[in-house]
Chains A and B, each alone.
Chain A
């Protein structure tokens, strides 16, 4: 359905997308997980034909973005990262407008607008102006506008940024449902939980490169048995961290939260707990909590990059 191959993009001298390659099958939900500035939005803009790129190719249904952008645009619905609606127009008028821009007739647009309002759960606010909506409601209409023409692929760029948990859940459930009904989904986020909840396959992107692709299980198996142990200590002690680093099973240590929380990467957690605590005690550092984290994508990201998805 969608093929992105070896795409490169530079802004001036800085290359922000460095040979990104991935593909998405029909009916699949694909997640693009990456921290701020990883190149997610840039990649999406290129898929939608908004941004020319330097190298590589992108095809949808066999059509290349370079030669047949219109064919691709018809098949895609994009939910931009920012709210792209007209604030002084009503929700209904916005939906009608975007529907018509996708080529729907007036009548079809009207019928579809009601369906879409039902999907996003805002039918009772149809006549209200967008500017009177809460952040979460705006986001929902922002998604609705991309659904008007029943796209084959729905591309969503961080659609849940900055909204309340209730709206967020509503959005996630909606997307899950759309996917169940057969819509291909591409979902970018820096929230691991969202991507894990929605997507069968996930690409992890950092600094303009896809550093891992696969199903959630594939990716976690790649963790080479690694686990993260979270240890909260009474005070930061440099020699403790240095000594912990010399332990054979420790791979990486990330300090967080005014340096009183250590995320310690270990390749096996069997004897680790005991040794970690005793090393701390030896250095006269008090351990307030210690906890083994289930391996997840966050752990993988940490292992691959040495950084966490969000700071």
Chain B
């Protein structure tokens, strides 16, 4: 009983906090708009001439693989573009001269190694001067791919690095300003000619993918906020006061956990509603599946908050460790760029990120999936929850 009173108190504090509201509810929606629109787009009605592109790929860059496999050879472009792998730039020029190809692309080795810093190495584009239209099609496709990848990684990074430091309304203004800039940049894109790859049976659009990605990422912030709520209660003596009331320690812990859970659920609920209404994001046919995965994920982030609260002593450490942790996990879990572009080994590592399980389940539900396919992610999320709640409660109780 007392637990619910504490939980409701925490929920109200978090929900009525302006900074928290912006951070947890406003930003994910805005980011989805930016990322989704940068990533999705409709091909023009006009029939485009068939174009053959020669590609020189040095090394084994993961991003290059995505460009070739999922974009150029992907569903949307396969009627227009055909791809020819070429061994060297010299050969590419010969092919171009002999009109065996219409345009050539040279991808440098380790193309995407600086992507975390928002940078991509230059790609060389060779065009037959006599085939201006075809050249500009290839140019557009390439440009828009590069832009969206860079936009995605920088804007995500901006939000994550700054979110921990928002203290005043001015900080908020600054961050919102930066986001709007990225948004404009994305909107000014002349052609948005690339659609995301398919996952599952139905196609998942870029907007859908990033809606799921942002949901997974921003719910992760509850780990940080929940931890800080614990620490804060300790620092402000309100915890001591709680303990001086006739309330058991366990009830207090459960209350703190539930408060975080309420917020995570509300956050996800609002996010799903708003993105469905505003951006017409389709979260899938089976709402029950979405709800169940969302619920399991919310429990695990609240549980993790408890675990961290048991080990982290002060708010500063929480902010630093949390900011970094969220960045790493967002990247690892595919919230920044789809994990398909990662090397295989890293994709395996990403299984430790709870947000990866939430994100992949959400997109699978969007594409249409069965309950039995969801049993693995549900098991993983619940295991994370149980482990962290048990260890966290145990550590906090003896303290």
Contact = CB atoms under 8 A, between A and B. Distances in A.
Nearest to A142: B241
A86 interface: yes
A104 B279 CA distance: 46
Interface stretch (A77-85, A199-207, A287-295): A77-85
Contacts of B5: 97, 100-101
Interface in B216-269: 236-238, 240-247
A53 interface: no
B202 interface: no
A85 B244 contact: no
B245 A80 contact: no
Contacts of B6: 101
A70 B246 contact: yes
Interface stretch (B8-16, B143-151, B206-214, B326-334): B8-16
B246 A102 contact: yes
Most buried by A among B2, B17, B238: B238
B395 to A, nearest CB: 18
B12 A78 contact: no
B240 A85 contact: no
Nearest to B246: A73
A76 B240 CA distance: 14
B240 A80 contact: yes
A50 interface: yes
Nearest to A78: B244
Contacts of A83: 236-237
A97 B241 CA distance: 12
A241 interface: no
Contacts of B244: 48-50, 73, 76, 78, 80
A30 interface: no
Interface string A87-116: 111000100011011110000000000000
Contacts of B17: 88
Contacts of A93: 12
Interface in B66-101: none
B13 A86 contact: yes
Contacts of B245: 73, 98, 101-102
B246 A98 contact: no
Interface size class of A (residues with CB under 8 A): 20 to 34
Interface in B1-41: 2, 5-6, 9, 12-13, 16-17
Interface residues of B, number: 19
B241 A84 contact: yes
A74 interface: yes
A237 to B, nearest CB: 48
B137 to A, nearest CB: 55
A116 to B, nearest CB: 15
A33 B243 CA distance: 25
Contacts of B242: 101
A51 to B, nearest CB: 9
B236 A103 contact: no
Given A50-B240, A82-B237, A88 B246 contact: no
A78 B241 contact: yes
Nearest to A81: B237
A78 B246 CA distance: 12
Contacts of A86: 9, 13, 238
A231 to B, nearest CB: 43
A123 B177 CA distance: 42
Nearest to A69: B246
A311 B244 CA distance: 32
A83 B238 CA distance: 8
B240 A84 contact: yes
Contact of B243 (A50, A87, A145): A50
Interface in A22-77: 45, 48-50, 70, 73-74, 76
B192 to A, nearest CB: 42
Contacts of A49: 243-244
B31 to A, nearest CB: 26
A82 B16 contact: no
A241 to B, nearest CB: 44
A145 B13 CA distance: 18
A82 B237 CA distance: 7
Contacts of B9: 86, 89, 97
Contacts of B13: 86, 88-89
Nearest to B16: A88
A70 B12 CA distance: 28
A89 B10 CA distance: 10
Contact of A80 (B2, B237, B247): B237
A93 B13 CA distance: 11
A105 to B, nearest CB: 11
Contacts of B240: 45, 50, 80, 84
Contacts of B236: 82-84, 87
Nearest to A47: B244
Most buried by B among A85, A86, A87: A86
Nearest to B239: A84
Contacts of B12: 89, 93
A98 B241 CA distance: 9
Contacts of A102: 245-246
A87 B243 CA distance: 19
Contacts of A88: 13, 16-17
A103 B183 CA distance: 51
Contacts of B241: 78, 80, 84, 98, 145
A9 B246 CA distance: 23
A103 B1 CA distance: 10
Most buried by A among B236, B241, B242: B241
A49 B242 CA distance: 12
Closest 5 CB pairs of A and B: A84-B241, A84-B237, A73-B246, A101-B245, A82-B237
Given A49-B243, A83-B237, 18 more contacts: A45-B240, A70-B246, A74-B246, A78-B241, A80-B237, A82-B237, A84-B236, A84-B237, A86-B9, A86-B13, A86-B238, A88-B17, A97-B9, A98-B241, A100-B5, A101-B2, A102-B246, A145-B241
Interface of A: 45, 48-50, 70, 73-74, 76, 78, 80, 82-89, 93, 97-98, 100-103, 145
16 contacts: A45-B240, A50-B240, A74-B246, A76-B244, A78-B241, A80-B237, A80-B244, A82-B236, A84-B236, A86-B13, A93-B12, A97-B9, A101-B5, A101-B242, A101-B247, A102-B245
